[in-house]
Chains A and B, each alone.
Chain A
């Protein structure tokens, strides 16, 4: 995953856009609802915190690849993402269903998952079957 050094300015702009989505748009927070929104093709942009477990992260990215939805890796952990959403709890991943007045969808999806990267993620996904089976 190539991530360029995030400048302070773009990080603030993501936070601003996210605040606007919280105010005027529709979104869901949390892993289960993110997968639900991807399955029903309602999600338009997925945002994942940086301390999301790698298995869960690649599972969400795989779903997003199948649904052709952009994924944004938030430059902060789940505590920061929760704060950015204006919530007092941790948010590991969220899905934007309707951006409202914000232009986050048009300006953000800079790190979309390419199809070539899916082969690597599939190996991790088969590990997902292992852990889910063992659990």
Chain B
């Protein structure tokens, strides 16, 4: 009886091009909108996971391996698997519904998301979120 599809919840996408990728809920629309009359949420996720960094790697290699490609998407609740993990990155002002309206707004939002996710990855926290789901 607790609402769990809240912002900062880590989810796994189940359908679409990004199936199997992990994402974090930024904003949820439980009752839908006029355009999408179903429960959906705005998520920001990882399109390309950072590669595994080993001790042997040089600084240049580490930098190259720690890159993250991000995506932003509006996704139906039915196409999401919620998890018990959360990821508290502050993406609310970066990512919004109107940043999905035009291509270049989307690209800038995705770039900013990428930067924030990369710095979170480099701190070593939320390790589960940045590991690829094997299936």
Report A's interface with B, CB cutoff 8 A.
32, 35-36, 39-41, 43-44, 59, 63, 65-69, 115, 118, 122, 125-130, 132-133
Contact = CB atoms under 8 A, between A and B. Distances in A.
Given A40-B39, A125-B81, 17 more contacts: A35-B78, A39-B4, A39-B30, A39-B39, A40-B30, A41-B1, A66-B2, A66-B4, A125-B83, A126-B135, A128-B14, A129-B12, A129-B20, A129-B135, A132-B19, A133-B14, A133-B135
B120 to A, nearest CB: 22
Contacts of B134: 126
Contacts of B19: 129, 132-133
Given A39-B77, A40-B39, A66-B84, A129 B2 contact: no
B1 A43 contact: yes
Given A39-B77, A66-B84, A126-B133, A132 B15 contact: yes
B5 interface: yes
B82 interface: yes
Task: Among B3, B133, B135, find the residue whose CB has the most chain A CB atoms closer than 10 A.
Answer: B135
Interface string B47-88: 000000000000000000000000000000110011110000
Contact of A67 (B4, B30, B135): B4
Task: Among B4, B20, B39, find the residue whose CB has the most chain A CB atoms closer than 10 A.
Answer: B4
Contacts of B5: 39
